Structure formats: structure tokens, C-alpha cells
Structure 1
């Protein structure tokens, strides 16, 4: 009998499994074989600190972000007093799972099938990769961290089958030499409707490799062609392609993360990816941590309402950030004219500093109220066309 079975071994599930195992709980974690999520791989300093990410997991340390508009305008934003770490998910996820295993979690490789219940017990059924047979693990509680189109969420939590998402696709290539179009210390974010009319494209350095990709929620878009166009525009066509990956990325946290009985959702399964930026690793790991906190409370008290702690703890700290980012996406991702104005707004030093202070520390910065007021006025001026697109 396990205290908790964690379904999914990405950053969220692996963090939950490790935290629970370290607190003395009997934990099992089930993960699919060979799964690598398409991901730019950016993690802020707060993630490195909060989750004790060792330096050898960082394949690059980025010090600049470049915003590129539909007309090709480039705005470089320096990352002052720090850096953004980059990880490669093919190595980072196994590292996190191994850490959970070392903490005491039992790890299984297989495909989740269903949750069986009767009057006496609850069991998670999965198909074991090694034997090909269906296995059953008895448990008191389940954490569903099985991705944006979560089978656990769909079966157990209201609204779990209706999470809005974009499809992300990227190609990992051998890193080219330093050039005007590629810098191993710079992340390029491409706001261009020809690449993605509702999201963005990216070029993110990974040391010896680089992630080139884009995302969209619009059906029928040729993701491979859009990525090929990014590579062609930036002189990356001839770079050797190491692997190609695609997967959904959720756009909005669910209103409810538990079933009021014995299931908690975490990470992408709960919809916790930042609007506008699509950033997910830090929020996934935090989602795993608050799910573990809620699980521990439930196991201690037996009160089903303690399952709600996961969402409450997460939203208490990050609801405002998600609200602001969602408003920004709704305001600026509608058209190339709006995207052009957004990149123009990024020229502003106050915007740059407050944006990256918030990103690095994962909270809205309140120390400079006049800067916030100035940004609000400039933002309104751009949206109402009181300033020209070329205004800097």
C-alpha cells in the first residue's frame, strides 16, 4: 500500500515524489518510456535556488533576451545582476527522477491506464514497459502530473478535458558558431504572425546545441514549416538536426486541481504554464511541491478539503503574475500591428528592468511605483495608437 502514487515523472511529478519521499511517505512514480518534452529549457535563478539545481545541469547561462518584431526590429534586453539558466529536458528530467528515486520513491516505467476503486481500496493500473503486462499499485492518494492532455485530469477533475493549450514544436540542432544571428548567451523571441499568429517562435541556446521552435493553438498550421522558416531566416538551415519533438502546452490554470476525494493535479495537468511566455519548468516544479504539501496534509488529517491546499498555495503567490501575463497576451498577440507595438514598448528601460526582475524573482515588483505608472501610461498609449509603431 503506497501513501501516494505519482503519475508522470516530469519536473512536477519528480519534485512531488522527491518531496514526499524525503518526508517519509511511501511513494511510487510512474513515467512513460522515452518521453522528452519540447521545451526552450529556461529556468530563472529562483528555480535554481528553490529546487537546488546543480550547476552541471545548466547547459548555458543566458545574459540577454532579444525581442524580434514582425518587421524585423530587434530589441536586446540585458539581464542585469544575474542570468537565466538553460537546461536540456532529455537530461534534466531523468536527473529529477533519479533524485526522487534516491530519496526513496519507487520508480516504474510504463503507461498509465486507469484508476480502479472499490469499497476497500484504490489502485492505479498501468502497463509495465519491462513486462508488457498490466500492473496495479494500491494507494491512498494520487498525484496526476501527466501533462497538458492529462488522462487523470480528464477522468477525475471537472474541466480536465477542456484546458486550452497551444501545440509547441521544436528542433534541437547542433549549435552554430557565434554570428550576427546567433549568440550562445542570448535567447531570441520572435513575435511574427508569419511564424505564429497567436504565440511566438524562439531560438534558445543549449551550449553545444540549440532549441529552435514555435507554438500555436490554431489548427492546420504547419509547425515544421514555420520552424524551417525560422531556421532559414537566421542562417540555421544547414545545422545538423539532432531531434524533433512536439507536445501541447496549457495556457490557463484550472479552476479546480483536485477531485475532493483522492486525486490532486500538478504541473501541466493543472494548467500551470505562464500565459504570454509559455514558461513552465519553474511553475511545474512549484506545482509538484504544493501538491506534495497538500498530499501530506491530507494523509495526516484525512480531510478531503486539504487537497485544495495545492491550488490555494500556488495562487496565493502567483495569481497576480498570471493575470498580468494573460492580459498582456490578450492585448498584444492579436495582430502583427500589436506585436510591433509590443516590441517597441520593450525598448523602455523601465519595462526591461521590471520585466526581468519579476521573471527572475517570480513576483511583481512593487518597489518602484512610479515606474509602474509610467509603464501603464506607455502601454495605454501604444494600445490606443497615441504613439507610432516606430516610437522608442
Structure 2
């Protein structure tokens, strides 16, 4: 009998398993193994500090973000007082799973099938990867950290199917030498309706490789053709393709993360990917941590209502950031004209500084109220067209 079975061994599930083991609980971690999520791989220093991730996990340190408009205008934003770390999920996720296993979590590889409750408590049924036989993991609580379109969520949590999704696709390519078009210390973000009519494309360095991809909510968009167009526009068509990956990414946290008795969702399964930026690794790991906290509280108190703590803790810390980023996406991602104005706004030094201060520290910076007021006025001017997009 496990205290908790964690289903899904990505950043969220592996973090939940590790935290629960450290708090003295018996934990099983179930993962399909072999699946790699399409991901730019950017992690902020705050993540490295909070979750004890060393520099040895980084493939690159980025010091500049380049915003590219529909007309090809480029705005380079320097990352002051820090960097953005870059990881490859094919290496990062196994590291996190192994760390949880080394700490004491029992690690199983297989596919989640269903949850049964023959004696009132949950029994996780999974299909063993090696034998293809169904096996059982009896437990007291279950954490579903099995990604967007979570099978655990769809089976157990009301309205888990009602979260909007972006369909992301990327290709890992062999990185070219540093040149005028590619810099191994720069992330390129492409706001162009020809690449993505409602989200963005990216070129992110991973040391000897790079992630080139895009996302969209529209099922009518051919993701592979759009990525091919992005590679062509970025001068990366001739680079060797190492692998290709695609998956849905949620755009809004679910209104409820638990089933009211013994199942709690975390990470992408709970919808915690930042709007506008699509950043997910940091928020997934925070989601795993608050899920572990809520499960530990429930096991200690016997009150199933304590499972709600996970969402309460997460939203208390990050609700305002998600709200602001959601408003930004709604305002600027509607058309190429709006995207052009967004990139124009990125020329502003106040916007640049506060944007990256918020990214690095994961908080809206309140120390400079006049800068916030100036940004609000400039934002309104750009949205209403009072400022020409060609101005710098």
C-alpha cells in the first residue's frame, strides 16, 4: 500500500514524487518512458534555486531574447543580471525521475489504464511496459501528472476536458555555427501569422542542437509545414534534423484539480502553462510541489478537502501573472498588425527590464510604480494605434 501513486514522470510528477519521499511518505512513480514533450527548454534561475538544479543540467545559457515581427523587424532584449538556462527534455526529465527514484520512490514503467476502488481506496491499474500485462498499485491517494488531455483527469475530475489547448510541434536540429542569423546564446521568438496565426514560433539553442518549433490553437494549421517555413525563414533548412515531436499544451488552469476524494491533478494535467509565453517547466514543477503539499496535508488530517490546497497555493502565488499574460495574449496575438505593435512595444527599456525581472523572479515587480504607469500608457497607445509601429 503506497501513500501516493504519481502517474506521469515529467517535471511535475517527478517533483511531486521527490517532495513526498522527502516528507516521509511511501511513493510509487509510474511513467510511460520514451515520450519526449515538444518544449523550447527554457528555465529561469528561480527554478534552479527552488528545485536544486545545477549548471550541469544546462546545455546553454542565453543572454539575449530576440523578438521578430511579421515584417521581419528585430528587437534584441538583453537579459540583465542573469540568464535563461536551456535544457533538453530528453535528458532533463530522466534526470528528475532518477533523482526521485534515488531518494526512495518506487519507479515503474508502463501505461495508466484505470483506477479501481474494490475496498473504497484507489488501486491504480497499469500496463507494464515490458510484459504488457496489467498490474496493480494500491494506494491512498493518486496524483495525475500525465500531461495535457490527462487520462487520469478525463476519468476522474469533472470538466478536465474543457481546457483550451495549443498544439505545439518542434524539430530538434543540429546547431549551425554562430553567424549573423544564429547565435547559441540567443533565443529567437517569431511573431508572424505566416508561422502561427495565433501564437508564435521559436528558435532556441540547446548547445550542439537547437529547438525550432511553433504552436497554434487552430487545427487547420499544418504544424510541419509551418515549422518548415520557419526553418526556411531562419536560414536553418539545411541543418540535420535529429528528432521531431508534437503534443497539446493547455492554456488555462482548470477550475478544479481534484475529484473530491482521492485524485489530484498537477502540471499540464491541471493546465498550468503560462499564457502568452507558453512557459511550462517552472510552473509544472511548482504544480508538482503544491500537489505534494496538498497530499501530505490530506494524509495527515484525513480531510479530503485538503486536496484543494494545491490549486489554492498555486493561484495565490501566480494568478496575477497568469492574468496579465492572458490579457497580453488576447490583446496582441489576434492579427499581424497587433503583433507588429507588440514587437514595437518591446523596444521600450521599461518593458524590457520589467518583463525579464518578472520572468527571472516569477513575480510582478512592484518596486517601480512609475515604470508600470508608463508601460500602461504606452501599451494603450500601441493598442489604439496612436504610436506608429515603425517608431523605435
- Normalised to the residue count of structure 1, the TM-score between the two structures is 0.99
Matches within 5 A, 1:49-88: 49-88=49-88
Q: CA deviation at 1:23?
A: 1.2
Q: Which residue of 1 aligns with 2:223?
A: 223
RMSD of aligned alpha carbons: 0.6
Question: Matched residue pairs, number?
Answer: 392
In structure 2, the partner of 1:387 is 387
Q: Kindly report structure 1 stretches of 4+ aligned residues shifted beyond 4 Å.
A: none
Distance 2:82 2:250 in 1: 28
Any idea what the Cα deviations from partners look like across 1:260-294, whole Å, max 9, x if unmatched?
10011000000000000000000000000000000
Find the aligned partners of 1:102 and 1:267 in 2 and give their Cα distance.
22
Cα shift at 1:120? 3.9
Number of the residue aligned with 2:27: 27
Residue in structure 2 matched with residue 275 of structure 1 by the alignment: 275
Q: How do 1:1-16 and structure 2 match up within 5 A?
A: 1-16=1-16
* Deviation at residue 118 of structure 1 after TM alignment: 2.7
3-state SS in 2 of match to 1:339 = helix
Q: What's the CA shift for 1:331?
A: 0.1
- The match for 1:163 is 163
Render the CA deviation track for 1:304-351: whole Å, top value 9, x for unaligned: 110000001101110000000000000000000000000000000000
1:191 to partner: Cα distance: 0.1
Q: Kindly indicate whether residue 176 of structure 2 is the aligned counterpart of residue 179 of structure 1.
A: no
Give deviations 1:36-82, integer Å, cap 9, x for gaps: 00100000000000000011100000000000000000000000010
Q: Deviations over 1:219-263 (max 9, x none)?
A: 121111111111111111111000000001100001111111001
* Alpha-carbon separation, structure 1, partners of 2:17 and 2:248: 23
1:259 aligns with 2:246: no
Task: Give 1:119 deviation, angstroms.
Answer: 3.5
SS class of match (1:248): strand
How far apart are the structure 2 equivalents of 1:161 and 1:385?
A: 38
Whether 1:42 aligns to 2:42 is: yes
Gapped regions of structure 1 (runs ≥ 5): none
Partner of 1:311: 311
User: Is 1:188 equivalent to 2:188 in the alignment?
Assistant: yes
* Structure 2: runs of 5+ lacking an equivalent: none
Q: How far is the alpha carbon of 1:352 from its aligned partner? A: 0.1
Shift of 1:33: 2.4
Q: How far apart in 2 are the matches of 1:219 and 1:38?
A: 17
Indicate the residue corresponding to 1:287 in structure 2.
287
Per-residue displacement from partner, 1:188-234 (whole Å, max 9, x unpaired)? Answer: 00000000001000000000000000001101211111111111111
Query: Aligned partners of 2:254 and 2:132: how far apart in 1?
Result: 34
What aligned pairs does 1:344-355 form with structure 2 within 5 A after superposition? 344-355=344-355
More displaced 10-residue stretch of structure 1: 7-16 or 222-231? 222-231
Indicate the residue corresponding to 1:343 in structure 2.
343
TM-score, with normalisation over the residues of structure 2? 0.99
| Partner Cα separation in structure 1 for residue 119 and residue 107 of structure 2 | 27
